[in-house]
């Protein structure tokens, strides 16, 4: 999971901004415009310059869209953000719509006037998105029009400059495989497919391929850039040259040429003019890339970014790094949980104090590079807001009889972490224990499952929900997302989710295991560990090779919230075994007071 930025409290500037955008659209002969929460790289985290949706509407979540017409406007969010959008966006200016109830394309089909021109920025939408939007505009007898120069940028007077932080080498001691070897691997895949080159627009793919990292966006160590990887293993990197110091240029070597981002489209045009066969990913690359390749005569292959799968399947060095990062991180989280158990009952700990304290424990490792997302620190009813972020306005004290949900993670050079724990402050109710134990049963089901080669995360998702379903309950988010290696805390292409996914789970992939339950206005529960896909031991008498998960995250789970009468013997055995592993691994890393607390927190059920 990841969180959101502070709320905007005044609606007046958004009224002014909306009016200014409409005036600019009228000046350009447009009747409407699409404002996605996206940058040119389609990343979850975007630089301040690309926070157009937040600037226009006040909504600061990590996913959403706005559609602005002459008379009407709407903001669309998913289930994670329905409560947040209600507090941040003025309902008098924008209709606030759950995208499961009505997708932006359906709203456009219903509301775009006949003959109207609906503008979009071709750098901020993928071809997959544009096809849906175009069909919607045509259904309304209107037109979808690509614009040159974003009209919102034209009226955003104090729009921040693009980030200009240095790109740095990511040491082979952490990367595990040299960039030259990765480039050869990708080049041989392109050659095998009969392709001359691939256009890369995802900065995490480029960071992985070239073994470089940066700080251009919050919480994810990315240098924003584009690249073209060729079938001869050479790479053209399009990045602000000021970001590359002498050491990084040396690290990149002679097979990587460097040019400015503005040279990316001309380079694509040159491939087209030469009649090259070029791959681009319609799910992740902006439509501007496809238009340029088609205009210039390239033979376009629409296929997945060739770095996605190899990046997702961690090598042995990355897996070992992740284990080390989780040990260190687990010790910091355990120190925090011990501190919380002492301080919270005194009635003086609030959400912001708690998240600051947790970050401080991580910083004391001496190896923390950044958080992997804004900590979700929610007590009582705030815990029911899936992507809550505490602010001065919403911050509340933890009270006895409440639940506290903390979802947090860290970036270390050797690995990225993401963990959620739900803690009872004082005595929990029978209902809280029932719900928590059902979530725990789902968590254990994922942790212990065996599955044949070729199984996707969407085929496993129901295992996490079964106990909740039996109680007439469910949750509105995915069960698991991929996680990078000192890269993005949300990494594709694998995931565990109700939504269909064709990507089979493969050894070396890291995914989260995070079922939950949320009672609006009362409390939230989530239990999250990261797990790595492994080749599991053979099943006695089995006929097929099976895979499984290795749990990486190490920190105690609150025993006070477990209703043992709901657990099967094998679930109790898993819980006790996990706690033994947590205690034995972390005890040597802890101070005496925390050791004593951990001993008690991990005693057998």
Is there a domain that residue 373 lies in? yes
* pTM score: 0.93
Looking up residue 384, the CATH number of its domain turns out to be: 3.90.230.10
Q: Are residues 106 and 179 in the same domain?
A: no
CA distances from 270 to 230, 258, 292 (A): 13, 16, 10
For the chain, residues with pLDDT lower than 70 are 1-12
Q: According to the model, what pLDDT value does residue 396 have? A: 96
* Predicted local confidence at residue 1, as pLDDT: 54
* Residues in Cβ contact with 181 at an 8 Å cutoff, skipping those fewer than 6 apart: none
Q: Rounded to whole angstroms, how far apart are CA atoms 439 and 420?
A: 12
Q: What is the DSSP string of 343-371?
A: HGGGT--BHHHHHHHHHHHHHTTS---EE
* 113 and 246 assigned to the same domain: no
Does any domain span residue 571?
A: no
Residues 167-197 as b or e (16 or more Cβ within 10 Å = b): bbbbeeebbbbebeebbeebbebbeeeebbb
Q: Clarify whether residues 68 and 194 are in a common domain.
A: no
Whether residues 332 and 240 share a domain: the answer is: no
Q: pLDDT at position 4, please?
A: 37
Establish if 448 belongs to a structural domain. no
pLDDT attached to residue 11: 43
Q: What angle do CA 529, 530, 532 make, to 5 degrees?
A: 140
Q: What is the pLDDT of residue 387?
A: 83
Residue tagged 């981002």 (tokens): 261
Give the residue from 155, 190, 206 where a domain finishes: 155
Q: Which helix (H) or strand (E) holds 131?
A: helix 127-139
Contact assessment for residue 379 and residue 398, using Cβ atoms and an 8 Å cutoff: yes
| Residue 187 backbone phi and psi in degrees, to 5 | -60, -40
In a domain, 212, yes or no: yes
Same domain, 307 and 317: no
| CATH label of the domain that carries residue 91 | 3.40.350.10
Express each pLDDT in 130-175 by its tens digit. Answer: 999 999 999 999 999 999 999 999 999 999 999 999 999 999 999 9
Whether 146 maps to a domain, the answer reads yes
Last residue of a domain, one of 311, 340, 372: 311
Same domain, 374 and 427: yes
Q: Domain ends where: 267, 290, 311?
A: 311
What whole-number distance in Å separates Cα of residue 508 and Cα of residue 486?
Answer: 15
Residues 271 and 292 in one domain: yes
Q: Would 423 be classed as within a structural domain?
A: yes
Indicate whether 382 and 319 sit together in one domain.
yes
Which residues lie across from 77 on neighbouring strands?
98
In a domain, 42, yes or no: yes
Is residue 127 located within the same domain as residue 176?
A: no
**Max CA distance (Å), the chain:** 73
Q: Are 548 and 532 in contact (CB under 8 A)?
A: no
Please count the other Cβ atoms lying within 10 Å of the Cβ belonging to residue 13: 12
Give yes or no for a contact between 251 and 169, defined as CB atoms under 8 angstroms apart.
Answer: yes
16 and 146, same domain (yes or no)? yes
Tell me: do 115 and 246 sit in the same domain: no
Q: Is 533 helix (H, G, I), strand (E, B) or coil?
A: strand
How much is the pLDDT for 12?
Answer: 57
List the domain range (segments joined by +) for residue 94: 11-155
Q: Would you mind telling me the total number of residues written for the chain in this entry?
A: 605
Element (H, E) at 98: strand 95-98
Beta strand pairing call for 480-482 and 491-496: antiparallel
Is residue 605 included in any domain, yes or no? no
Name the domain count of the chain: 3
Sign of CA dihedral 19, 23, 25, 30: positive
**Domain check: are 181 and 150 in the same one?**
no
């Amino acid at each position: 999971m990841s969180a959101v930025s502070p709320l905007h409290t005044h609606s007046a500037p958004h009224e002014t901004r909306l009016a200014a955008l409409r005036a600019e659209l009228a000046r350009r002969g447009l009747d409407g415009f699409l404002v996605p929460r996206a940058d040119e790289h389609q990343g979850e985290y975007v630089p301040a310059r690309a926070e157009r949706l937040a600037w226009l509407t006040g909504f600061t979540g990590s996913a959403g869209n706005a559609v602005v017409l002459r008379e009407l406007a709407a903001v669309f969010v998913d289930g994670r953000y329905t409560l947040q959008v209600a507090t941040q966006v003025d309902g008098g200016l924008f209709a606030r719509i759950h995208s499961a109830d009505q997708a932006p394309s359906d709203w456009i089909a219903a509301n775009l006037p006949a003959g109207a021109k609906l503008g979009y920025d071709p750098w901020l939408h993928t071809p997959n998105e544009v096809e849906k939007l175009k069909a919607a505009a045509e259904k309304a007898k209107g037109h979808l029009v690509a614009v040159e120069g974003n009209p919102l940028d034209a009226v955003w007077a104090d729009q921040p400059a693009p980030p200009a932080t240095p790109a740095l080498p990511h040491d082979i001691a952490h990367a595990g495989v040299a960039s030259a070897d990765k480039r050869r691997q990708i080049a041989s895949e392109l050659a095998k497919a009969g392709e001359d080159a691939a256009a890369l627009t995802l900065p995490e793919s480029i960071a992985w391929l070239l073994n470089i990292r940066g700080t251009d966006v919050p919480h994810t160590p990315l240098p924003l850039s584009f690249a073209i990887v060729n079938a001869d293993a050479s790479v053209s990197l399009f990045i602000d040259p000021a970001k590359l110091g002498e050491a990084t240029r040396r690290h990149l070597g002679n097979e990587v040429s460097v040019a400015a981002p503005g040279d990316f489209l001309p380079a694509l045009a040159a491939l087209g003019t030469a009649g090259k066969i070029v791959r681009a990913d319609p799910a992740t690359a902006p439509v501007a890339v496809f238009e340029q390749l088609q205009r210039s005569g390239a033979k376009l292959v629409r296929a997945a970014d060739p770095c996605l799968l190899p990046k997702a399947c961690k090598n042995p060095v990355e897996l070992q790094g992740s284990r080390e990062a989780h040990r260190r991180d687990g010790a910091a989280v355990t120190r925090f949980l011990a501190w919380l158990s002492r301080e919270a009952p005194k009635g003086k700990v609030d959400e912001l104090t708690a998240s600051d304290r947790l970050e401080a424990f991580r910083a004391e490792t001496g190896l923390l590079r950044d958080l992997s997302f804004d900590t979700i620190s929610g007590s009582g009813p705030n815990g029911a807001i899936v992507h809550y972020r505490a602010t001065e306005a919403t911050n509340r004290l933890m009270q006895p009889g409440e639940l506290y949900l903390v979802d947090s993670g860290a970036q270390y050079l050797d690995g990225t972490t993401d963990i959620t724990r739900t803690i009872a402050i004082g005595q929990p109710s029978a209902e809280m224990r029932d719900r928590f134990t059902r979530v725990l049963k789902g968590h254990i089901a994922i942790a212990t499952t065996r599955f044949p080669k070729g199984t996707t995360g969407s085929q496993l998702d129901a295992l996490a929900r079964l106990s909740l379903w039996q109680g007439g309950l469910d949750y509105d988010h995915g069960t698991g997302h991929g996680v990078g290696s000192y890269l993005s805390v949300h990494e594709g292409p694998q995931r565990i989710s109700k939504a269909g996914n064709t990507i089979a789970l493969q050894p070396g992939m890291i995914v989260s295991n995070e079922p939950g339950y949320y009672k609006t206005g009362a409390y939230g529960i989530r239990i999250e560990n990261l797990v790595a896909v492994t080749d599991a031991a053979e099943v006695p008498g089995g006929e097929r090779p099976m895979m499984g998960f290795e749990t990486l995250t190490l920190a105690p789970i609150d025993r006070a919230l477990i209703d043992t009468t709901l657990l099967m013997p094998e679930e109790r055995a898993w819980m006790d075994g996990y706690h033994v592993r947590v205690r034995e691994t972390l005890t040597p890393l802890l101070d005496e007071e925390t050791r004593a607390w951990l001993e008690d927190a991990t005693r057998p059920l």
